[in-house]
Chain A
């Protein structure tokens, strides 16, 4: 199997695009709206312990109550407030999404820069990346979780590992295109050393595609986290997470559909917001990114 068929090489992300913040916002109202909404959700999630009661409070007398005045989203099978738990679930999803996006970016960009610049290592590194990419991401994450044991850090690692190769590939292909351009030749000709070449000349030019990819990693990490928690391989059971709530709700689908509806819709909306933000960023930062992009971020 040729690896090229799996992800065609790309030539976009070339050349620095200067974009002030105001320019970004003027170009795409979606960025402003989705960004503000996400910020609001993040603040709500951060303030949750100060505003809401403990999500672990049991109230067996009021179990499986439908949404109403006393409990906006109803209660679950142990009488816990679905609203409080849904808000707390935001914390887990956002934290894991952000940390995975961050970890993937750091590791992926480093690997991509090295592979794009060190021709000797390139073949070896990229074959290794192809190998990891050949393993369906969710299964790799499940395997890692069953070896590492359940904790927040391990979830981040387990979700990041399958995401890194895509980021590395993206950076490498951008670097390969960039290094053929006159400004790189000029930098090399004037005697810039490797660190200067990498950080002063290459890095600023890969920021745009990396930022877009990181947004999509963020979105997909939240879904994978929910899948892992749903299957019992994610965050520890005492941390309220959307995937865990959805798994508990399975037996009560007929009697208490609100136990599924609220965390499910919360997850879908958050992922949708991040995806919209990513799409808008991509269209703004580089129209050439638009095509073929989706194919590489889905695992």
Chain B
């Protein structure tokens, strides 16, 4: 993990230097004056020697200093802190919804291997992979918010306004984010469970007269847990990308909105900070999942 993070830090640092054109000019925009371009170059310290830039970058990174936004002149870390709450809740809701929906779907599809339900689940999963997240988002808004008026169409109620309101405002976005994730987890769960169902110990369990759900819950699921946990971890990268889009569709003032606004304002320090943050989350969660294998499979020890 440490070499990966170190490489990511170097790679992200170098990104701004590998551009074929002057990055300061691109960030400043098409109508910038030479002075504005020079100001951005100074602010991003692009006029300093490469090695000096790199040491400053590493030492600031070590202090969790992500630089200063070009547009608002505020520290990026503070801007991220202000927007963290909705995104965190949205990501947690989407992940838990995805796992709660996908794992039973996959297990039951595997159990009915080849049957109608199995085919439906496979079809749904291919559809889930192919449907762009904004289409899902717009559809949910149109039907459940504008049509049926069950949920607010836009915006976000902070946690301080009450847990219920907060969940209600994020339920549709979380569903939209969860769809791709559900498709991914269902597919892998089904594939792994089919393999486990062919094992001798499952036949033994069935032969001694256990109820099907006991077989699935006690014998199949624990043995399929490690690959399922792995795919939940891999899916987080896709989910974080989905969050950015979904927050724009639903106007949720989270990190995704921050990204979208930063794109429009060409605020590279914010984009860079968010990229580092999301990478850190992704790598960190996957580390936790790797460690959780010990819990799922007693044969694994680190």
A residues engaging B (CB < 8 A)?
A: 1-3, 5-8, 127-128, 130-132, 134-140, 142-149, 219, 223, 226-227, 230-233, 246, 250, 253-254, 257, 260, 264-265, 267-268, 271-272, 275-276, 279, 290-292, 294-295, 298-299
Q: Which 7 A-B pairs have the closest CB atoms?
A: A138-B241, A131-B7, A1-B1, A272-B130, A264-B135, A271-B130, A136-B237
Known A-B contacts A275-B130, A279-B126; the reply to A1 vs B290 at CB < 8 A is yes
- Taking CB atoms, residues of chain B closer than 8 Å to A223 are 132
Interface residues of B in 255-279 (CB under 8 A from A): 259-260, 262-264, 266, 268, 271-272, 274-275, 278-279
B16-30 toward A: CB 8 Å interface, digit per residue (1/0)? 100111010011000
Q: Cα distance A272–B127 when bound, in Å?
A: 7
Q: Cα distance A233–B16 when bound, in Å?
A: 16
Cβ A131 vs Cβ B11 within 8 A? yes
B residues engaging A (CB < 8 A)?
A: 1, 3-5, 7-8, 11-12, 15-16, 19-21, 23, 26-27, 126-127, 129-135, 138, 141-142, 146, 180, 184, 187-188, 191, 195, 230-231, 233-235, 237-238, 240-241, 244-245, 248-249, 259-260, 262-264, 266, 268, 271-272, 274-275, 278-279, 282-283, 286-287, 289-290, 293
Cβ B240 vs Cβ A136 within 8 A? yes
Write the nearest CB–CB distance from A14 to chain B, whole angstroms: 20
Cβ A233 vs Cβ B233 within 8 A? no
Write the nearest CB–CB distance from A38 to chain B, whole angstroms: 13
- Taking CB atoms, residues of chain A closer than 8 Å to B126 are 272, 275-276, 279
- Taking CB atoms, residues of chain B closer than 8 Å to A143 are 12, 15, 268, 271-272, 275
Cβ A233 vs Cβ B263 within 8 A? yes
Cβ B7 vs Cβ A128 within 8 A? yes
Q: Cα distance A54–B272 when bound, in Å?
A: 38
Cβ A5 vs Cβ B286 within 8 A? yes
Q: Cα distance A299–B282 when bound, in Å?
A: 12
Cβ A231 vs Cβ B259 within 8 A? yes
Cβ B15 vs Cβ A298 within 8 A? no
Write the nearest CB–CB distance from A285 to chain B, whole angstroms: 18
- Taking CB atoms, residues of chain B closer than 8 Å to A128 are 7, 11
Known A-B contacts A131-B7, A279-B126, A295-B184; the reply to A268 vs B241 at CB < 8 A is no
Residue of A146, A231, A272 with highest tally of chain B CB at under 10 A: A146
Cβ A146 vs Cβ B271 within 8 A? yes
Within 8 Å by CB of A298, from B129, B142, B278, lies B129
Q: Cα distance A219–B1 when bound, in Å?
A: 30
Known A-B contacts A138-B244, A139-B274, A147-B23; the reply to A6 vs B264 at CB < 8 A is no
Q: Cα distance A32–B16 when bound, in Å?
A: 45
Within 8 Å by CB of A147, from B16, B279, B289, lies B16
Within 8 Å by CB of A260, from B26, B133, B135, B180, lies B135
Cβ A6 vs Cβ B11 within 8 A? no
Sample of 27 A–B contacts (CB below 8 Å): A1-B283, A5-B230, A6-B233, A7-B234, A134-B279, A135-B12, A137-B237, A138-B241, A138-B244, A139-B259, A139-B278, A139-B279, A146-B268, A149-B26, A223-B132, A227-B245, A231-B260, A233-B263, A260-B135, A260-B138, A264-B138, A268-B131, A271-B131, A271-B132, A275-B129, A292-B191, A295-B230
Cβ B146 vs Cβ A232 within 8 A? no
Cβ A130 vs Cβ B234 within 8 A? no
Cβ A232 vs Cβ B23 within 8 A? no
Q: Cα distance A226–B244 when bound, in Å?
A: 13
Cβ B245 vs Cβ A231 within 8 A? yes
- Taking CB atoms, residues of chain B closer than 8 Å to A130 are 4, 7
- Taking CB atoms, residues of chain B closer than 8 Å to A148 are 19-21, 26
A226 and chain B: residue at smallest CB distance:
B132
Write the nearest CB–CB distance from A58 to chain B, whole angstroms: 23
Write the nearest CB–CB distance from A86 to chain B, whole angstroms: 13
Write the nearest CB–CB distance from A227 to chain B, whole angstroms: 6
- Taking CB atoms, residues of chain B closer than 8 Å to A267 are 132, 135
Q: Cα distance A292–B234 when bound, in Å?
A: 12
Q: Known pairs A1-B287, A295-B184; list 17 more (Cβ under 8 Å).
A: A1-B286, A5-B286, A6-B286, A131-B4, A131-B7, A139-B240, A139-B241, A147-B19, A148-B26, A226-B132, A227-B133, A231-B244, A232-B264, A246-B134, A257-B142, A268-B131, A295-B230
- Taking CB atoms, residues of chain A closer than 8 Å to B131 are 268, 271
Within 8 Å by CB of A227, from B5, B241, B274, lies B241
- Taking CB atoms, residues of chain B closer than 8 Å to A219 are 129-130
